[in-house]
Amino acid sequence: MKKSASVAVAAMLLLSSVSVASAASHMSNRTGNSAAASDRLDLSDAQQKSIWKDISRHAANQSAPSGFNAAIGTAIPASVSTYPLPRAAARDVPAVKPYRYAMLQNKVLIVNPSDKKIADIVTK
């Protein structure tokens, strides 16, 4: 009898922890805390200036591969390295948290990490 009661209690605890985790996940998605990156990001002028200030001092300026023209919605070539955004950039402009960046020809490319498409381009 004690063993079946223990199993029942363990099962209830397990189910309740799954429910709590699921609810927390849904709540974080609603509040935007774990927003997913998309293929389009419209940053204001102030946000772009902040991003430029926070990234340009850290970024290594890469040369664009032959024939590549950076444009919003275009996937970056595999030869272009992307990097996590600096903490300051993510703090100053929370919308960029789920993205990565690359710097090509003095342009900061904000890149969707899931499909490598350019979501926004920031210039000086």
Any idea which fold 39-123 has?
Nuclear Transport Factor 2; Chain: A, (3.10.450)
Q: Which of 98, 1, 111, 22 is nearest to 59 (CA)?
A: 111
What the block records as the tokens of 30 is: 């609603």
Give me the pLDDT at residue 13, please.
46
Residue 46 phi, psi (nearest 5): -65, -40
Q: What CA–CA distance (Å, rounded) separates 106 from 24?
A: 41
- Read off the pTM: 0.69
Q: Which of 45, 65, 42 is nearest to 53 (CA)?
A: 45
10 pLDDT more than 60: no
Q: Which helix (H) or strand (E) holds 102?
A: strand 100-104
52 pLDDT more than 50: yes
pLDDT tens digit sequence for 76-122: 999 999 999 999 999 999 999 999 999 998 899 999 999 999 999 99
Q: What CA–CA distance (Å, rounded) separates 42 from 120?
A: 7
Enumerate the domain spans of the chain: 1-34, 39-123
Give me the pLDDT at residue 42, please.
84
Give me the pLDDT at residue 57, please.
81
pLDDT tens digit sequence for 18-47: 443 444 433 333 333 446 777 788 899 999
